[in-house]
Chains A and B, each alone.
Chain A
């Protein structure tokens, strides 16, 4: 206290350092243990420095000592909102390495589950974005609609978030007899409820004023920083892995890759809403045509990948999720690397927030849709 007074009253000692504010690691709008060191001038953000690693758990290193079926269970702890996609990426990588062809039924079910996961993830993102902008009601609307999806998951594989439904060569169980009916019920329900999202948040004039023209990311920058997913597509960067490198049942379905050119916060928001519509279209095309057959192919007791390097990418709810396995022919990988979308999407933040207000920093961060375990791994 005395030093404080001294600094105030002896003007030659006034500190003229930069003004830093720590946002996080425990902060309502970082959605996890992320720390943003923001250099401010009044309310205006000059630059930010994301500090990551607060919940780093060394998943990649742990994978090196686990067998392939075991390490799948770690992947849904990373991006827990697109757990099914992460599981699937590893399984596809192993199947491609072993050149196993999975039954058509597996491909269909995996794709339906993918899209349901994507809808659930975008719903939660919508909840959180509304909260970050100060509209509390969105949170309950989003969770209300997410609940039926989680119920479907629970009935299908017993878990609501960390599924472990994929195994190398197929699925762990067959689908529940109610699965098709409940998914169709949900689609019918959600087609009625999704317009509410627009009337509640996106149609609001305050929301439009706050997001339009804010945090513009150009296409070149998006490519340079490796921003994928809806955040990248809002800048016009066509990066949908489902279109570019189709996997599972995506070659059989018709859907649009939604693109925008503005690259601002509003379009990053809007594209995710539109993706939910597209996901529903994909599910509707598949749900009635799930072919009969086995839910898994018989794999060897101990899975050993041939020597070499294998890469598989999938489109998770946040962007391109990649698995890179280096195998030396043993039953566990020699080295394993995940390319997580959140990591690349986070580090473009510094480019977007220069000169915006501190409230806009939160809004931009929200539309990048960060999941912290996905970044820290």
Chain B
């Protein structure tokens, strides 16, 4: 069994060969699905816990505190302890809720997270699904998540939740436009919507550098819109705790609240991973041109480390926003999107088209 940290294709292939040599094709597929499913559940749980821990440490550093440091070395077990506490809490069904929708909403939110993550290439060969409309599929599924939030707001029978849900709907649907348009800008440059094609197209330089000014504009807009999509500060109106106490998840407790909580952090990962894939080359190491000594030195670091390095940098940036900026108001959020980001984005698409047509990119 050939194994290399640099390329997982051989590993996947050898597992597949080993399984299909002794099993029927149907059972091979079922077992492969089960393995992949368990791996994703583990990844979401562990990376979600890591992100919660990271956020507590990052915000502590920004706020001149120490952060969790009692449970385990550097407080590393603290989030696990908190998560166990959350799981053991009573699940409360308040009076007057629409039980079916109330119970359904957290599952919709967490399910979209799993579907999107299955599209991401973590390293060469570490990707579950890869079809020719990959980017489109990711944006399409990510807009399903808002349905869960709207349902949670509607079904909770709470005025705070309702306002939070409506705000969330207005905000996420608006910012989907910016996310979509800045992705279109980059698709013009890459020439493909297939995620592996986008990543492979950046072997001789990341799209952020290849696309000159329009790529940089699209990058900034994507980060702003992506932050808004994740409902994080300064765009955390749907749960704006100083006005709405908890927003759409005010009435949720226990495991259902944990789903919303986990989904929020995994959405943060999804946005950072999309930025990484589309602008920063996915798992591609930092390359300039082809076949020089600099590229060879960069190749020493395994692609999976490159991927998570880039993702964590973007996550750090988004966390930094949250802990420094005051919250925007609902009309200002919509003004920012419809009056500024959308026109800039439309103009940027034309600019990118001109750049690609004239061959100014490299």
Contact = CB atoms under 8 A, between A and B. Distances in A.
Contact of A28 (B65, B245, B328, B329): B245
B281 interface: no
Contacts of B147: none
Contacts of B331: 357
A257 B266 CA distance: 52
Most B-side CB within 10 Å, residue of A131, A207, A209: A209
Interface in B67-120: 96
Nearest to B324: A137
Contacts of A139: 63
Most A-side CB within 10 Å, residue of B160, B167, B324: B324
A125 to B, nearest CB: 15
Interface residues of A, number: 34
A117 to B, nearest CB: 24
Contacts of A224: none
27 contacts: A1-B96, A27-B245, A28-B242, A43-B330, A134-B240, A135-B324, A136-B323, A137-B59, A137-B63, A140-B64, A141-B64, A144-B64, A201-B326, A206-B326, A206-B332, A210-B326, A210-B332, A357-B330, A357-B331, A358-B243, A358-B244, A359-B237, A359-B240, A359-B243, A359-B330, A360-B329, A361-B243
A21 B327 contact: no
B357 interface: no
A359 B327 contact: yes
A264 interface: no
Given A134-B236, A204-B326, A206-B325, A28 B241 contact: yes
Nearest to A19: B159
Given A209-B332, A359-B240, A140 B327 contact: no
A295 B309 CA distance: 64
For chain B, give the interface size range: 20 to 34
Contacts of A206: 234, 325-328, 332
A210 B328 contact: yes
Interface string A191-220: 000000000110010110110000000000
Contacts of A28: 241-242, 245
A146 to B, nearest CB: 13
A134 B327 contact: yes
B240 to A, nearest CB: 7
Nearest to B160: A21
B198 interface: no
A144 B243 CA distance: 26
Interface in A156-213: 200-201, 204, 206-207, 209-210
Contacts of A29: 242-243
Nearest to A132: B242
A135 B327 contact: yes
Contacts of B63: 136-137, 139-141
